[in-house]
Structure 1
């Protein structure tokens, strides 16, 4: 177990070092944007899901250890992820634009879209699957009519 934690920690550290340096104020602003858009909560959910899988693989680990590890990873891995993503965001959005997004997502309509987006995405994915299935079926029928 200690080896796995060490490997994960080293991997995160190596990724953090390999990405370009971004101004610390930009990183802080980006983290705030992730918070107000709901992205931080999404990432937190992903970490919880990962720990659920880890618990299945390492069922002999005490619950106390899991609680400690998850708490630690929730805190550090979100910060690491923000630092890793910052070089990508800085290519497309400057500090002022991030602040404008924060201002929007802090408004009533921004909060509503941030809260609604996961539900909209989930429902849209279901509709998209049905749509894709329909197109696939139509395609197969047309190909059969053409003799393929």
Structure 2
């Protein structure tokens, strides 16, 4: 009986420790989202979603939508960070996150974070052009193989 109680105690203690670790990891992950500019991107997604619902539901007032948007922006990023803990923790340690945060708090990291949305936007057009070119070349080679 003492052995069973000891095992139960160990399981609960382990669960509590892992829960704290996940919580700390989630806080650190959220911090990384903040300093990397990812949080701003996620906030933009929320704004777009609310605007889409606003366009579809004219029965509610603009202030209702503003209040909803503010509420979701306040809580959803931490919820997302907690949901992403298993994914990030599989690939990055807490020390990795801290190093990434340290980079993004440097002048070069801040510049990268602020310029990433513009770089991404400009790169998308180039990426589409590149993809089209590759697709055409593949299609040409396939047609040559048919002959």
TM-score category (smaller protein):
0.7 to 0.9
Aligned 1:1-148 pairs, distance under 5 A: 21=19, 22-147=21-146
Provide closer, same or farther for how the CA distance between residues 141 and 40 of structure 1 changes in structure 2, counting only shifts above 3 A. Answer: same
Once the two structures are TM-superposed, the CA of residue 136 in structure 1 deviates from its matched residue by: 1.8
Local SS of the residue matching 1:104: helix
TM-score by length of 1: 0.79
Deviation at 1:86, TM superposition (A): 1.3
Give the TM-score normalised by the residue count of structure 2.
0.80
CA RMSD of aligned residues (A): 1.7
**Structure 1: which 5+ residue stretches go unaligned?**
1-19
Deviation at 1:70, TM superposition (A): 0.7
Give the stretch that moved more between structures: 42-51 or 117-126: 117-126
Helix, strand or coil for the counterpart of 1:114? Answer: helix
Give how far 1:83 is off. Answer: 0.8
Distance 1:68 1:134, change over 3 A: same
- Alignment partner of 2:26: what SS? helix
**SS of the counterpart of 1:61?**
coil
Structure 2 CA distance, aligned partners of 1:40 and 1:55?
22
* Structure 2 stretches lacking a partner, 5+ long: 1-17
Aligned-partner Cα distance in 1 for 2:142–2:32: 48
Which runs of at least 4 in structure 1 moved beyond 4 Å after TM superposition? none
Cα deviations by residue, 1:55-81 (Å, 9 ceiling, x for unpaired): 111111111111111111111111111
In 1: Cα distance, 2:60 partner to 2:108 partner: 44
Q: Which structure would you say has the larger Rg? A: 2
